[in-house]
Amino acid sequence: MARLDVTETFHGIMFPGHLHTQDSLQLALKFPFQDTDIVIVSYPKSGTTWMQEIVSLISSRGDPQVSQTVPNWTRAPWLEHHYFAAVLEASPTTPRVITSHLPHHLLGPTLQGTKAKVIYVSRNPKDVTVSFYHFHKIANFLPEVGSFPEFLNQFLEGTLHYGSWFDHIKGWTSQTATMNNLLHITYEEMSLDLHGVIKRVSSYLHSPLLEDEINNCVKHCSFDSMKDNKMANYTLVTADIMDHSKGSFMRKGKIGDWENMFTEELNQYFKSIFQSKMEDCALEFVWED
């Protein structure tokens, strides 16, 4: 299958041009958020789709009817995609749920002054790299990948599509102290305590749930349920965009898969760059289950 990897460079960051245009990226920065909006923000492969499912299920109080009949990109459309406006208009969700991979230095000013509720999702960067590497193989709108060490190097240099993970996480999490409409949830928290995360997110969204409703959410956003749900596993996307013969979007869903790809040497290399780039950031990461 031919690659669709036209690159669109916007404010120095590369984006897949098949999904984003200069116009759609420009429009994203001018989007008039409403105070009732819920905005899921993440660096790719951090658990975005999982959070979309959690928010959908919280909105329906654990009833899977909507999340099993409406694709996730319609339930929680991507702000920077060229078809965003059309999908948002047709979107049945109230309040609106909007998803974005934009870094804080681009999207933060747009959100300023609104009470839109932002949920920032992060994941330990070794697992992000491994997940992103495998995703490049199935996502034809991203460039062809070489070896994993080459890919890791690009990740650490911040030259992959969607920009630097370091800038993304530091930009958004540095706002948690000052923005009271920003909730930071990690992939590892979702993995280790999904029930607790659903409770926190639902109370942040002013939609507290009953115990049974939380349990229903947990059931329907488990890895196995989502892997089987066509509305969440991206199998509805045509093969020219995602080649499912090369792998699954819902791949492993684990903490610590990096251990299968990182040699001792790569791990040491990662650590040295990570330490220097994260010197000014006190976040703690969970690296294994």
Give the residue numbers annotated as catalytic, written as ranges.
101
Least separation, in Å, of the C-beta of 242 and ligand A3P? 11
Name residues whose C-beta falls within 8 Å of residue 53's C-beta, 6 or more positions apart in sequence. 67, 72, 220, 221, 226, 232
For 220, list phi and psi in degrees, rounded to 5.
-85, -10
Verify binding: residue 77, ligand A3P, rule CB under 6 A. no
Q: How far apart are CA 29 and CA 100, in angstroms?
A: 11
Least separation, in Å, of the C-beta of 30 and ligand A3P? 25
Of 121, 140, 136, nearest in space to 189 by CA: 121
Q: How far apart are CA 216 and CA 201, in angstroms?
A: 15
Q: How far apart are CA 117 and CA 98, in angstroms?
A: 10
Whether omega before 95 lies within 30 degrees of 0, making that bond cis, reads yes
Verify binding: residue 97, ligand A3P, rule CB under 6 A. no
Mask for 217-246, x = binds ligand A3P (CB under 6 A): ----xxx--x--------------------
Least separation, in Å, of the C-beta of 138 and ligand A3P? 10
| Residue number with CB closer to ligand A3P (185 or 250) | 250
Instruction: Pick one of 18, 20, 45, 136: the residue that binds ligand A3P (CB under 6 A).
Output: 45
Verify binding: residue 134, ligand A3P, rule CB under 6 A. yes
**Listed ranges 126-134, 153-161, 270-278, 279-287: which one lies at the site for ligand A3P (CB under 6 A):** 126-134
Instruction: Pick one of 38, 168, 253, 270: the residue that binds ligand A3P (CB under 6 A).
Output: 253
| Residue number with CB closer to ligand A3P (114 or 251) | 251
Verify binding: residue 47, ligand A3P, rule CB under 6 A. yes
| Residue number with CB closer to ligand A3P (46 or 93) | 46
Verify binding: residue 131, ligand A3P, rule CB under 6 A. yes
Buried b (16+ CB within 10 A) or exposed e, 208-246: ebeeebbebbbebbeeebbeebebbbbeebeeebbbeee
The residue type of 154 is Q
* Contact residues: ligand A3P, CB under 6 A: 42, 44-50, 127, 131, 134, 221-223, 226, 250-253, 257
